[in-house]
């Protein structure tokens, strides 16, 4: 015990410590942090050991991780090192530098340790280290705090205790390691400063090549989690923050392509001939004639939170959705439908705008898309539709309210506007309360002398999975689980559909029931494709029941709905109108998973990764197997992911200036 208490003094009395002087604290911080990060990585890797295929994976994680850790701590120490160099020239500043350094290093040690402590919870939820999702959630503290206190009490307690312990012990430890004087003469001191500064800069850059260190340099596996384990959570979150600020274009990740080639490739995958695209200002705009030619119908989209195919009995998943399974037999059901991403805003982007996914944030959150960006609401509004969004929480979440009001929605109905809320969870009103309010809204709209479009977005099937008692027979014995929440959400959906079938609006309305994304996307693949499959079914009077086995993307839904409603117009959407024949070679699904992009066809899957060569896979027994790739596959995938950035930056994705343009090519 005495030896332990004497350890700080023994360290500061060492010869190297006396030589380094005030730089000794920097060395101590770097060593302490590197040890903490290494121990965390060992623990996380041991926990996920079933994902390791060989010792090479372990070696790559540990070596790549050490490189990332050295870079991380080098960035952290850069400012104190510069201040220390100045203080050695101006000695009267040493006292100030001492306390700045001690507080700086204590704070960053707390941050590093705290992020590592919460990493297992984040991996459980997203199968990745804390990344841009963490940054985005911090924008909405009310919802996130409510969610955490409802479903993650133990994790909060552990993280809080760790934070206080690290703060106290770190401050005490760093304070004991400060050495004010250096046992070097002026020339040696100058060389010491130069050497320390050079080491810090080299450590931060971690490369003498053209590019500094980035996540791609330590990526080695097709399992995205193994690549993430080679990072640390501070680096992962900081890198995500940097990307959010920069909003880099897709070409920064996947390489460039000329505008003409982008347009040519995306047009080639359309079901329309090339001469159909003839509007110079909007290169992908074309006139789409609706299949239905009668009186335009109303539209209601029931967007289901986090309902992946694995929760849907009718798609081979768990028996949690008897009501949805029944609808899938009664309507036009898509058995091979894939989401474009893993967040609600990505699902909204695809279903409401038909926009292709990019490695940037969804357009719901981007600055240039907050006004005059194409949505089916803006199109329907100019066809004299009343357009509405109904949500059980606070509509400002994820910037939905701002995006919707700027792009065609007349009315926002959120929890503050509900007539009655019997059960309210962290994310707002229960799905039953939501559907009851939606029914009231639709009844009102049906009495007006104009058609309507309503987007209804559920939230009960979201962590911490809160729902009212005595509504369902639980699938899991523990109440608050994904499975039980999915089952409750389906129960609420069934109640609403029965109401709707006996309503005034049923006769003239088309309903789409579709999920925004899966609940938890994970797997040992660059893009875990099976977790992108979601349910989607169109129901309503006049919709012929069918089981559609074609490969379908969420971006195909909006053009299809407009066609079924009887809306003919010019739109910039690249999605297919599924009421028409779609040749097998043109069927595809687009998926964005963090920074990886997948272009899936019935034959293969092309995956683009940042700063790495494209790879191709085929699906065998539910798993991805590497296969040969050719330039045409690369060009096709690259054009589709680059189109989004190009269209967004140049504001090419908007309504045509002309309405109902009748073209000779129709």
**Residue 403: both structure tokens together:** 């995006």
Q: Are 599 and 640 in contact (CB under 8 A)?
A: yes
Check residue 134 and give its pLDDT: 84
pLDDT of residue 662: 44
Full DSSP string of 191-202: HHHHHHHHHHHH
* pLDDT reading at 523 higher than 90: no
pLDDT greater than 80 at residue 279: no
Percent of the chain scoring above 70 in pLDDT: 96
Confidence band (pLDDT; 50, 70, 90) for 456?
A: very high
pLDDT at 2: 43
Residue 230 has pLDDT above 90, yes or no: yes
pLDDT in tens, 373-384: 999 999 999 999
Query: Is the pLDDT at 296 greater than 80, yes or no?
Result: yes
d(CA 125, CA 292): 43
Nearest to 471 by CA among 486, 491, 485: 491
pLDDT for res 658: 57
Strand 596-600's sheet: what is its strand order?
589-593, 596-600, 605-609, 612-620, 623-627
What is the average pLDDT across 458-479? 94
d(CA 348, CA 353): 8
Query: What is the structure's pLDDT at 273?
Result: 86
Token digits of residue 455? 């987007």
* Closest CA relative to residue 222, chosen from 635, 629, 596: 596
CA 202/CA 194 separation, integer angstroms: 12
- Give the C-alpha distances (Å, rounded to integers) separating 318 from 321, 467, 484, 490: 8, 19, 11, 13
For range 121-140, the mean pLDDT: 84
Q: Where are the domains of the chain?
A: 2-246, 259-649
Taking only the tens place, the pLDDT of each residue in 87-125 is 988 989 999 999 999 999 999 999 999 999 999 999 988
For residue 547, the model assigns a pLDDT of: 98
Q: Does residue 262 surpass a pLDDT of 80?
A: yes
pLDDT at 9 (0 to 100): 66
> Which of 278, 283, 233, 292 has the alpha carbon at shortest distance from 262?
283
Q: Is the pLDDT of residue 3 over 80?
A: no
Residue 366 is classified by DSSP as -
Omega cis (within 30) before 270: no
pLDDT at 12 over 90: no
* Topology annotation, domain 259-649: Alkaline Phosphatase, subunit A (3.40.720)
Integer angstrom CA distances of residue 244 from 136, 240, 353, 426: 9, 6, 22, 26
What distance in Å separates the CA atoms of residue 391 and residue 528, rounded to the nearest whole number?
29
Class of residue 460 by CB neighbours under 10 A (exposed 0-12, middle 13-18, buried 19+)? buried
Predicted confidence (pLDDT) per residue in 630-650, tens digit: 999 999 999 999 999 999 999
| pTM (predicted TM-score) | 0.83
Mean predicted lDDT score pLDDT of the chain:
91
Residue 150 in this model has a pLDDT that exceeds 80 = no
């Amino acid at each position: 015990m005495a030896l332990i208490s004497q350890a700080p003094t023994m360290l500061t009395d060492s010869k190297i410590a006396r030589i380094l002087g005030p730089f000794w604290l920097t060395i101590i911080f770097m060593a302490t942090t590197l040890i903490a990060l290494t121990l965390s990585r060992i623990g996380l890797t041991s926990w996920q050991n079933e994902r390791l295929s060989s010792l090479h994976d372990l070696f790559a994680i540990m070596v790549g991780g050490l490189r990332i850790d050295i870079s991380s701590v080098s960035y952290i120490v850069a400012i104190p090192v510069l201040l220390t160099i100045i203080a050695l020239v101006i000695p009267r500043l040493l006292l100030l530098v001492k306390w700045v350094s001690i507080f700086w290093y204590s704070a960053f040690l707390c941050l590093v340790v705290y992020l590592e402590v919460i990493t297992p919870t984040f991996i459980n939820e997203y199968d990745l280290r804390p990344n841009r999702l963490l940054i985005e959630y911090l924008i909405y503290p009310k919802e996130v705090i409510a969610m955490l206190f409802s479903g993650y009490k133990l994790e909060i307690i552990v993280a809080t205790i760790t934070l206080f312990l690290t703060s106290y012990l770190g401050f005490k430890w760093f304070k004991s390691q400060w050495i004010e004087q250096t046992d070097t003469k002026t020339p040696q001191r100058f060389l010491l400063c130069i050497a320390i500064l050079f080491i810090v800069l080299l450590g931060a850059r971690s490369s003498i090549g053209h590019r500094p260190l980035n996540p791609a340099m330590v990526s080695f596996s097709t399992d995205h989690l193994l690549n993430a384990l080679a990072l640390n959570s501070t680096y992962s979150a900081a890198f995500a923050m940097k990307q959010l600020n920069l909003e880099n274009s897709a070409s920064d990740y996947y390489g460039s392509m000329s505008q003409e080639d982008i347009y040519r490739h995306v047009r080639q995958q359309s079901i329309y001939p090339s001469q159909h695209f003839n509007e110079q200002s909007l290169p992908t705009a074309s006139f789409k004639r609706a299949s239905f030619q009668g009186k335009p119908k109303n539209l209601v989209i029931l967007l289901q939170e986090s309902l992946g195919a694995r929760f849907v009995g009718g798609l081979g998943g768990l028996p949690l959705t008897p009501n949805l399974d029944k609808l899938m037999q009664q309507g036009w059901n898509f058995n091979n439908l894939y989401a474009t991403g893993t967040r609600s805003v990505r699902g909204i982007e695809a279903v409401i705008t038909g926009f292709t996914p990019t490695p940037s944030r969804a357009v719901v959150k981007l600055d240039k898309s907050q006004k005059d960006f194409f949505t089916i609401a803006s199109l329907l509004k100019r066809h004299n539709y009343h357009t509405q969004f109904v949500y059980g929480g606070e509509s400002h979440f994820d910037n939905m309210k701002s995006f919707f009001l700027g792009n065609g929605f007349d009315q926002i109905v959120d929890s503050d506007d509900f007539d009655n809320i019997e059960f309210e969870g962290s994310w707002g009103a229960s799905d039953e309360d939501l559907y009851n309010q939606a029914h009231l809204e639709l009844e009102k709209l049906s009495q007006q002398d104009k058609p309507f479009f309503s987007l209804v977005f559920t939230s009960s099937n979201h962590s911490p999975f809160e729902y009212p008692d005595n509504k369902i027979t639980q699938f899991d014995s523990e109440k608050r689980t994904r499975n039980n929440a999915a089952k409750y959400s389906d129960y609420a959906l069934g109640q609403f559909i029965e109401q709707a079938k006996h309503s005034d609006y049923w006769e003239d309305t088309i309903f789409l029931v579709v999920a925004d994304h899966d609940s938890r996307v994970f797997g040992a693949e660059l893009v875990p494709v099976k977790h992108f499959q979601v349910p989607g079914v169109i129901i309503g009077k006049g919709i012929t029941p069918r089981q559609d086995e074609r490969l379908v993307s969420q971006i195909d839904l909006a053009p299809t709905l407009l066609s079924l409603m009887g809306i003919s117009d010019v739109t910039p959407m690249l999605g297919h109108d599924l009421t028409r024949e779609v040749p097998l070679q043109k069927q595809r699904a687009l998926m964005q998973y963090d920074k990886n992009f997948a272009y899936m066809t019935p034959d293969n899957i092309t995956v683009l990764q940042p700063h790495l060569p494209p790879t191709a896979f085929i699906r065998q027994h539910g798993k991805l197997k590497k296969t040969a790739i050719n330039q045409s596959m690369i060009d096709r995938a690259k054009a589709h992911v680059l189109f989004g950035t190009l269209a967004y930056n140049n504001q090419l994705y908007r309504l045509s200036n002309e309405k109902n343009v009748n073209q000779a090519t129709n």
